[in-house]
Amino acid sequence: MTDSKRKIIVTVTGASGSVYAQKLIGKLSALKPSPAEVAVVFSGTAREIWKAEIGGQFDAIPPAKIYENNNFLAPFASGSSTFDTMIICPSSMGTLGRIANGVSDDLICRAADVMLKERRRLIIVPRETPYNLIHIRNMETLTLAGAVICPATPSFYNKPATIDDLVMTVVERVIALAGFESDSYHWMEDD
C-alpha cells in the first residue's frame, strides 16, 4: 500500500507530553505523499492537558480529521476498516492498562483492540516515569499481543540543541516504526 492510500489513527491521552502529539500529527500531515487520512482522537483529559501545555485547542487540518472519543461508529472501531496503523501518543498508563486488559470502554481503547485483533500496527508512546511493576506487566502483555511500546525517551546522537530537537527524536522514531520514510538522523550512517 502506498503512503498516499494509508489511513493512520493518532490518539492523544491524558499524559503530559502534548508536544509529542502536536509534532507527530504535523509531521504525518507534512509527509510527501501524506497519508489519505490521519484520524485524531483525544481523551477528555488530553484536551485539558493540551490547553495547559500547548495553549488553545487542536485544529484539524487535512489530512487530519478529528473523531470524538465516545463515537463507536467511527470507521476504525471495526476490523473491516482500512486503517492500518494506530499511534497512542502520549499514552497514559491508565489507557495502556485498559488496552492490556481488554477494556474497550471508549473509542481509543476499542480502536487499539481492533488493531491487536486484526494484527495491525499499534504503537504506544508512554510518557511516564518511573514505571511500577503493574506498568511493566501491562507493557509486557501488550508487547506479547503485538503492540510496539516506544517510550517518549529522546535520543542525543544528533546533538539536539532545542526542546523541539529532542521531541523530534521521539517523533521521528515513531514515524519510522509506523513504516514511513523520513529524513531523520540515523546513528552511524553516512549522510
Residue pLDDT tens, the chain, 191 long? 677 799 999 999 999 999 999 999 999 999 999 999 999 999 999 999 999 999 999 999 999 999 999 999 999 999 999 999 999 999 999 999 999 999 999 999 999 999 999 999 999 999 999 999 999 999 999 999 999 999 999 999 889 999 999 999 999 999 999 999 877 655 656 55
Letter string b/e over residues 139-174, b meaning 16 or more CB atoms within 10 A of that residue's CB: bebbeebebebbbbebeeeeebeeeeebbbbbbbbb
Residue 181: predicted pLDDT: 84
Measured distance CA(84)–CA(94) in Å, rounded: 24
H or E segment and range at residue 109: helix 107-117
Cα–chain center distance at 28: 11
Measured distance CA(36)–CA(29) in Å, rounded: 9
Q: What cell was used for 146?
A: 503485538
With H, G, I as helix, E, B as strand and everything else as coil, classify residue 20.
helix
Domain 3-177 sits in CATH 3.40.50.1950: yes
Closest CA to 16 of 49, 61, 41: 49
Residue 158: predicted pLDDT: 87
Residue 1: predicted pLDDT: 67
Residue 124: predicted pLDDT: 98
Residue 187: predicted pLDDT: 60
Confidence (pTM): 0.94
Residue 47: predicted pLDDT: 96
